[in-house]
A and B are shown apart, each in its own frame.
Chain A
Amino acid sequence: KNEVEQSPQNLTAQEGEFITINCSYSVGISALHWLQQHPGGGIVSLFMLSSGKKKHGRLIATINIQEKHSSLHITASHPRDSAVYICAVGYYGGSQGNLIFGKGTKLSVKP
């Protein structure tokens, strides 16, 4: 069974700080996804990656396939970044459908 572990579970930061959220998984994958969920809201996809690094604004996602590890970085954090960040990995087949989700990292950025 493919497990997805995220750390930390909770993170409090001051505005302007550099933030890193980590994700590790146990078997081969088709792609890794980073998702964002604001309080009371739906989930939006931030990144999908299968190698290397992607950047969108102040967000950067990296993946190391050999080490089965990914990180999500937020530069110059802002209170509007406060949300739950979820790592999910894609794979083929199985009763779990095609995405396995981590339990999420709750980020709170204080002004």
Chain B
Amino acid sequence: DVKVTQSSRYLVKRTGEKVFLECVQDMDHENMFWYRQDPGLGLRLIYFSYDVKMKEKGDIPEGYSVSREKKERFSLILESASTNQTSMYLCASSPILGGRQPQHFGDGTRLSIL
């Protein structure tokens, strides 16, 4: 079974801090994704990566950056956390782009910025 592991289930940080969210997958998938999920808005794509060191912006990349130095690991970085980045963050991986295979999701990180 595919396992996508996010480093924290719950995280509390202060405004202005640099925040790192880590995601690791164990199935050698080429593609990895970071989403945020907010009530009434559903899942929105922040960034995705289709190969090591390769990335593409999603719908809402402002205030975020990503890093993919190894195939199995995809990190989301909040450069200077703000209260409007309080949200649930979900990582996913998939072997193929284009939605032709299911994405496998982690359990999510509920991030609160105070």
Contacts and interface: CB of A to CB of B under 8 A. Distances in A.
- B: contact size bracket: 20 to 34
Interface stretch (A16-24, A25-33, A57-65): A25-33
A41 B48 contact: no
B99 A99 contact: yes
A48 to B, nearest CB: 5
Contacts of B43: 86, 88, 101
Contacts of A48: 101-102
Interface string A36-47: 000001111100
A29 B42 contact: no
A43 B105 contact: yes
Interface in B9-29: none
Contacts of B92: 43
Contact of A91 (B42, B56, B99, B105): B99
A104 B42 contact: yes
Contact of B99 (A33, A42, A44, A102): A33
A75 B94 CA distance: 30
B21 to A, nearest CB: 14
A104 B88 CA distance: 15
Interface of B: 33, 40-45, 48, 56-59, 90, 92, 94, 97-108
Interface of A: 29-31, 33, 41-45, 48, 86, 88-92, 95-99, 101-104
29 contacts: A30-B98, A42-B105, A42-B107, A43-B90, A43-B92, A43-B105, A44-B105, A45-B102, A45-B104, A48-B101, A48-B102, A88-B99, A89-B99, A90-B98, A90-B99, A90-B100, A91-B98, A92-B97, A92-B98, A95-B58, A95-B59, A96-B59, A97-B56, A97-B58, A98-B48, A98-B94, A99-B103, A101-B42, A101-B43
